[in-house]
Amino acid sequence: MSFKRSSGILLHPTSFPGPYGVGDLGPQAYHFIDFLANSGCKLWQVLPLGPTGYGDSPYQCFSAFAGNPYLVSPEILIEQGLLTQADLADMPVWNPAQVDFGGLYHWKPGLLDKAYTRFESMPRGPIHAEFDAFRFDNASWLDDFALFMAIKDANGGIAWNQWPDPLRKRESVALADARQALSGNISRYMFYQFLFFRQWQALRDYVHGQGIQIIGDIPIFVAMDSADAWSHPDLFFLDEAGIPSVVAGVPPDYFSPTGQLWGNPLYDWARHKQTGFQWWIERIRATLSTVDIVRIDHFRGFAGYWEIPGGAATAEHGRWVPGPGADLFNAIRAALGELPIIAEDLGEITPDVVELRDAFGLPGMKILQFGFSGPDNPFLPHLYTSNCVTYTGTHDNDTSLGWYRTAPAQERDYYHRYVSRDNADVPGDMIRAIWGSVAVFALAPLQDFLRLGTEARMNFPGKVGGFWTWRMDERSLSENLKNYIREINWVYQR
């Protein structure tokens, strides 16, 4: 699929400002979209939008299809009569600079439950018909997800492979009993999803009205403790007890000397092929109903992936195993047409990864922070081709200012020689370097536009806890910043 030269900002909705403990899909989201449009940007990139669990990572969600109810805007619910101002009386005092996931866990579901109770008490109207249609249209994943979450609640939040055997094994009588006993909670979880997708679709319509496209994100793997693994155990390497025999990760690399042990269950690709890759087709279809372009995280895993024995303490001792390769993408293309996909082709890239990416014409990624080892480094702008997407850094990197402050002396030296600038404005100089390249898309995290340091870093790969919490200041989107971005978009014709 051919993309048009343009630029954008990487900013996850949880990072929006606002008074409710986490960024959401309310007025601040619309304000950001106005800012993007007025600055001449055509792209907004987000991280996965699913419901997060332990560790708060959007790359480890309870479902590959569901949305994150933390992102539901209380202000919009008040406007729609589903909440009142009085319902917010017990709201904690939040730190405006950080997401407090622990506090949200104890407060926001209760708030959404008040909206559900009010919805249930309303005379039947258009919103009820809309909810019924949502349930019908999304039954293929929603029924299992809501049941999964309700059973999880009833069992104190423990992982599904520790549930009583009949529920863990999805015995039909046990599931029927659970649906009956937990019907109220199941309906609540469906309603929370309805609220999320209703607000997201309204925002997406507004985004499109401003001439902007949304780049979404699909993690290649699903979380072990997810509705997907529980409801489709045959698609993964799981034993009779629901324990993964092998798990995902990457070998020792730039980020970690012992590799990264992600712990996700690995796909039984032979089984997926027998089904015509139906689960993957539905996953891509669902994602493309919420975003316009999809970045697939860890694309190299489709060519070959690092298989780690289940129960291993680190990712050091594993083996490379062939992935599904072109068979998967041929099936997706046959079902869905041309693929608006960006391949996250970072890490240990072998010829088969490049061959798979190029066979489908997918743009790969270039991270400028990785580029300053010397003039032949492929992450440097003078070596780009047009069919790539370039970033100063992503959610997994330090901010550009943070990178510079901790980079080895030889990298800093080459950086100065490359950009021919001092260190007065490292993030700005890096943004200009990629904006001026031939790459079809150029994007930078908002943190780099704001010239922020390591305190604003979103994530550190391989580390759990304390990340994903950064929030922007409500004064960040200034007139000066808008004019600056508009100028570089004009200068470099983005």
Instruction: Give me the active site residues, please.
Output: 297, 344, 396
Cβ-contact 297, 217 below 8 angstroms: yes
Q: What are the structure tokens assigned to 261, written together?
A: 């042990």
For residue 248, list its beta bridge partners: 307
Cβ-contact 436, 429 below 8 angstroms: no
Phi, psi of 353 (to 5 degrees): -70, -45
What order do you get walking across the sheet with 319-322 strand by strand? 260-265, 246-250, 304-309, 319-322
Three-point CA angle 428, 433, 437, nearest 5°: 145
Q: Of the candidates 452, 471, 444, 476, which has an alpha carbon nearest to the alpha carbon of residue 402?
A: 452
Q: What are the structure tokens assigned to 24, written together?
A: 């959401």
In angstroms, the CA 191 to CA 113 distance is 9
Q: Of the candidates 383, 379, 409, which has an alpha carbon nearest to the alpha carbon of residue 394?
A: 379
Q: What are the structure tokens assigned to 11, written together?
A: 């900013």
The SS3 call for residue 229 is: helix
Treating both helix axes as pointing N-terminal to C-terminal, what angle do 183-209 and 139-154 enclose, rounded to 10 degrees?
130
Taking CA atoms, 261 is separated from 226, 265, 459, in Å, by: 18, 11, 16
Helix (H) or strand (E) holding 264: strand 260-265
Return the half-sphere exposure (C-beta side, CA atoms, 13 A cut-off) of residue 299: 26
Query: Which DSSP string do the residues of 47-115 spell out, in sequence order?
Result: ---SPB-TT--TTSBS-SS---GGG--HHHHHHTTSS-GGGGTTPPPP-TTB--HHHHHHHHHHHHHHH
Taking CA atoms, 245 is separated from 210, 220, 263, 300, 310, in Å, by: 48, 18, 11, 21, 5
Cβ neighbours, 10 Å, residue 78: 16
